[in-house]
Amino acid sequence: MTATLTRATLVPELVVADLATSLRFWVDLIGFRIAYDRPENRFAYLDRDGAQVMLDQYNPSARHWLTGPMDRPLGRGINLQIEVAAVEPILGRLDAAAWPLFMAVEDAWYRAGAIEVGQRQFLVQDPDGYLLRLGAKLGERPVAATAP
């Protein structure tokens, strides 16, 4: 592990079909960096400004904590929200690679108590079907008053 990496307190570990293919997506297109890896185990720990994920290539003879069959798309029912400074550079790399979006970019506002929190966001699936929601902050605003 590099000395400059502060490990997050929640880090998903994704079982992937092919680590090299996944790294091309996560590093080259999404902008993560390899914080450390274990090539002999086909494992990589990735970081992008504090957002962290572990990628572990599936090996039927290795120890994996699987709760069911590895049917695609993987990760059904979950999306990994990743905060970024701006979505446009990532969208540009995805477009250049002809990588399809799951949901086009949008500006969305979500109520959080007495305020709404805004983010420009889009969704994309990684090579194994894991769903990523990348978003850049738009700011906060008061919740609009509603009629009784």
Highest CATH level, class, for 13-59+74-142 = alpha beta
Ordered per-residue pLDDT tens for the chain, 148 residues = 445 789 999 999 999 999 999 999 999 999 999 999 999 999 999 999 999 999 999 988 877 787 788 888 988 889 999 999 999 999 999 999 999 999 999 999 999 999 999 999 999 999 999 999 999 999 999 997 655 5
Output the pLDDT for position 31.
98
Question: Is residue 56 within 8 Å of 43, Cβ to Cβ?
Answer: yes
In sign, the C-alpha dihedral spanning 31, 42, 45, 53 is positive
Determine if residue 26 is left, alpha or beta; phi over 0 gives left, psi from -120 to 50 gives alpha, anything else beta. Answer: alpha
- Please report which helix (H) or strand (E) contains residue 141, including its range: strand 131-142
Structure tokens at 95: 């477009």
Q: Which of 23, 19, 131 is nearest to 72 (CA)?
A: 131
Burial class (CB in 10 A: 0-12, 13-18, 19+), 141: exposed
